[in-house]
Amino acid sequence: MSRTGKKPVAPVSGVTVTINGRTVTAKGPKGELSIELMDVVNVENGSDGLVVMPANDTREARAARGTTRALIQNMVTGVSAGFEKKLAIQGVGYRAAMQGKDIKLSLGFSHEVIYQAPQGITSAVPAPTEIIITGTDKQQVGRVAGQYPRLA
């Protein structure tokens, strides 16, 4: 059994975390993120940082405690340092290039595929076979990186 939920979310310099009712918001140099808390958990400011507590002693509340703590930690990390995924393109003649803010992919189709990244995501192509996806929201960065093989 994991004990991650019992650890406080340590404060990071340059990041302010505010609790407003059931909403937790983190502001930092890379942006601002917020989440809505579940009814089975409560968040308090402690001496060591933010502490997530279950509202009652049910299995759901104990599970939500760890999940909520991880989401808050990911918000703090995202607005302070950000997240990054590196993708490699493998295949003869497969390549990528930047076209403004979009990525132009040559993947063996009769046409080139243009991918427009959603708001909050930054893409870079340092080499023709490498794509770097960056952003503040860990879930969104992973979702965008997972979409690249299914662009056609």
For residue range 44-77, list pLDDT tens digits in order.
Answer: 998 899 999 999 989 999 889 999 999 999 999 9
Q: What Cα–Cα distance (Å) separates residue 68 from each residue in 6, 14, 19, 20, 43?
A: 11, 22, 13, 16, 9
141 and 94 inside one domain: yes
Question: What is the domain count for the chain?
Answer: 2
Last residue of a domain, one of 62, 80, 98: 80
Last residue of a domain, one of 80, 114, 140: 80
123 and 93 inside one domain: yes
8 Å CB contact between 35 and 140:
no
> What size, in residues, is the chain?
152
For residue range 106-152, list pLDDT tens digits in order.
Answer: 988 889 989 998 999 999 999 999 999 999 999 999 999 988 655 54
74 and 108 inside one domain: no
Question: What is the structure's pLDDT at 6?
Answer: 87
We report the CATH number of the domain holding residue 98 as: 3.90.930.12
For residue range 131-143, list pLDDT tens digits in order.
Answer: 999 999 999 999 9
10 and 76 inside one domain: yes
Question: What is the structure's pLDDT at 98?
Answer: 94
Question: What is the structure's pLDDT at 47?
Answer: 87
Domain of residue 25 covers 4-80
Report the percentage of the chain scoring pLDDT > 90: 78
